Amino acid sequence: MTNPLMLSVEQEQLRSGVPGLRIGDTVKVHQRIVEGNRERIQVFQGVIMRMHGGGVNATFTVRRIASHGIGVERTFLSNSPRLDKIEVLRHSKVRRAQLYFLRDRRGKSARLREQRD
């Protein structure tokens, strides 16, 4: 049984204005970074590889290719107050729930087919 008080607290913590994210989307995640007494926004652009959990604890993992072909993956909390905004650049057609096969691919074989509306 779930406690109704817990559900109401969780509903208050959920972010509004989060776009509908799907696996295979190419996104730009704008995250607030605090360094000492300064604050800046860092942008992380890549493909959503996996989505995990639901409600307050929902996370998504974004993969991008950094310099010299090194893959970098980063997991974000969907409802984190540190996230400034999430921009969806394109939707891709995928047939998997997690895109772990992208870790073994390089170049053209790592492309995903764009989904046309």
| Structure confidence by residue, pLDDT tens digits, 27-37 | 999 999 999 99
Identify the weakest region by mean pLDDT among 6-10, 31-35, 39-43: 6-10
Q: Please tell me the pTM assigned to this model.
A: 0.84
Domains of the chain: 19-94 (2.30.30.790)
CB-facing half-sphere around the CA of 19: CA atoms within 13 A: 16
User: Over 90: is that where the pLDDT of 3 sits?
Assistant: no
Containing 71, the helix (H) or strand (E) segment is strand 71-77
User: Over 80: is that where the pLDDT of 57 sits?
Assistant: yes
